[in-house]
């Protein structure tokens, strides 16, 4: 978390500012401290992966590990340039990375739409390079997709949620939506941090804006953002 505003950390680094990183991966525990499942691949056949950035990854990870159908979660760094960065390096703003949560889920027990609902409703996606009091590129809102289907569903959900935010007189969504690149695991002490530190930093940045209960059922077959916006107008 970042308590002091630094404008240099709230813009993507220039090429000559990017930190070099290292080839070695960050060592992490074999098992999830809450779910008892593997933190790293290989995962059981049929599991799918989703990744989200929604501010400080401690609280975001706890949100997702509590959802039905989630097999495993882990926190890490995505969307930047520095290979295998440390937390301290990410905090400089010179890696370009986002604090992200990797969610491994069982599609026979939950849906990608259920994860998207949690993402949109449990943080403020309008704040640019920050989330609440945390400022910097690492705190930007992002959906990092692992398939064309995820990409379509994420994009289809954006405009309707914006409609709800606008109706609530809130700002414009700044969430990045795009294909996932490399996911670099964060240090072991960050994994399931709020289990180990139950009184740890865990702000709630939810806007209070929600989607209709049947929204993702309606958008499951939506092919375009326009179709999804029509679906939510009919549902609301």
By annotation, the residues acting in catalysis are 56
Q: Which of 49, 58, 27 is nearest to 138 (CA)?
A: 58
Residues β-bridged to residue 184: 77
For the chain, the first-to-last Cα distance in angstroms comes to: 37
| Spatial distance between the Cα atoms of 20 and 83, rounded to a whole number of angstroms | 7
Cis peptide before 71 (omega within 30 of 0): no
Which DSSP letter does residue 230 get? H
Q: In terms of C-beta density within 10 A (0-12 exposed, 13-18 middle, 19 or more buried), how is residue 34 classed?
A: middle
Q: Render 91-148 in DSSP notation, one character per residue.
A: HTT-S--EEEEEEEE-TTT--HHHHHHHHHHTS-TT-SSEETTEESGGG--EEEESSH
């Amino acid at each position: 978390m970042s308590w002091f505003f630094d404008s240099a950390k709230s813009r993507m680094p220039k090429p000559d500012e990017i930190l070099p990183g290292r080839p070695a991966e960050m060592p992490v525990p074999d098992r999830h401290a809450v779910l008892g499942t593997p933190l790293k691949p290989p995962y059981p056949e049929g599991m799918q992966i989703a990744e989200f950035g929604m501010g400080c990854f401690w609280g975001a990870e706890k949100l997702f590990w509590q959802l039905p159908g989630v097999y495993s979660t882990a926190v890490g760094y995505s969307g930047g340039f520095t290979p295998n960065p440390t937390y301290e390096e990410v905090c400089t703003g010179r890696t370009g990375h986002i604090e992200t949560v990797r969610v491994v889920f069982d599609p026979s027990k939950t849906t990608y739409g259920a994860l998207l609902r949690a993402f949109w409703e449990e943080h403020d996606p309008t704040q640019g390079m920050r989330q609440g009091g945390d400022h910097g590129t690492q705190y930007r809102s992002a959906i990092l997709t692992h398939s064309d289907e995820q990409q379509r569903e994420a994009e289809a959900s954006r405009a309707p949620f914006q409609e709800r935010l606008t109706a609530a007189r809130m700002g414009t969504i700044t969430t990045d939506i795009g294909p996932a690149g490399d996911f670099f695991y964060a240090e072991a002490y960050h994994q399931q941090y709020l289990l180990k530190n139950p009184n740890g930093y865990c702000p709630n940045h939810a806007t209070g804006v929600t989607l209709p209960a049947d929204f993702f059922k309606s958008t499951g077959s939506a092919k375009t953002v326009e179709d999804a916006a029509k679906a939510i107008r009919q549902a609301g």
